[in-house]
Amino acid sequence: MRDPRLRKIPLRVRKHAQTRVALLQALLQELRDKPLDAVAVRDLCDHAEVSEATFFNYFSRKTELLGYLRDVWALELVWWGRRVAEDQPGLKAVEAVYDKLAEQSQQHPGAMMEILALHAQSREKPEPADIPLAERLIAFPEHEGIEDVASGGVESVLVPNLEQAMQKKELPANTPLPLVMMSLAGIFYGVPMALLPAQAAHLPSAYRQQLSLLWSGLRAAARGGR
């Protein structure tokens, strides 16, 4: 174990985290070539080298494991957006979140499609889960500062950077944030729904084009209201 931060965490907690992350990685592997409905729990357990009983000690069903993947990916999006915002707050940081989302989707299109389906089936917006420290360090060993990212969902990095964009006059001062967040959510989910899996290569440019259209529309609406 190379990370000194992990050595400070009790062994029982580390093993719990290792199992959860191993099952997450197993799910990613299985979703490369089959839908979630065709993934057997026993296959996940074979990849993770745990028993089926152990799986159900950690997750009640496969969709709960998929929700865990969604939360882990959201944590990475927030980490990346905040990292970019340290030097380029405002629209650059917002766009960086979508660049990272495109990267996640390109690397694991099957998993992203299943997350989109899970989102579409949910009647309520899921609350962002807090990813424990050990799981963060095991899932993202190269992500410096991942342990300091507060849980709060992707909105926690988008909203402050939109506010920064208004202060920097990248966006109009009267930009309606709730409406912009609705538009960003539509872009967030709509672009991969339109392009995955066959056109995954076009995700980065499609996200950038949609965001550029949104920014331009907000500026034009502000000029028209004068």
Q: What is the mean pLDDT of the chain?
A: 95
pLDDT for residue 1? 56
What global pTM score does this model have?
0.95
Quick one: how far is CA 144 from the chain centroid?
17
* CA dist 194 → 36, 104, 125, 148, 203 (Å): 20, 16, 21, 34, 9
End-to-end CA distance of the chain: 61
141 pLDDT higher than 80: yes
Q: How far apart (Å, rounded) are the C-alpha atoms in residues 62 and 119? A: 14
44 pLDDT higher than 60: yes
Burial of 169 (0-12, 13-18, 19+ CB in 10 A): exposed
Q: Mention the CATH class of domain 63-224.
A: mainly alpha
Q: How far apart (Å, rounded) are the C-alpha atoms in residues 90 and 87? A: 10
Please give the average per-residue pLDDT across 184-208, as a whole number: 97
pLDDT band, residue 127 (cuts 50/70/90): confident
Q: How far apart (Å, rounded) are the C-alpha atoms in residues 79 and 149? A: 6
pLDDT band, residue 124 (cuts 50/70/90): confident
Where in the chain are the domains? 63-224
Q: How far apart (Å, rounded) are the C-alpha atoms in residues 89 and 92? A: 6
Which two tokens mark 189? Answer: 């989910």
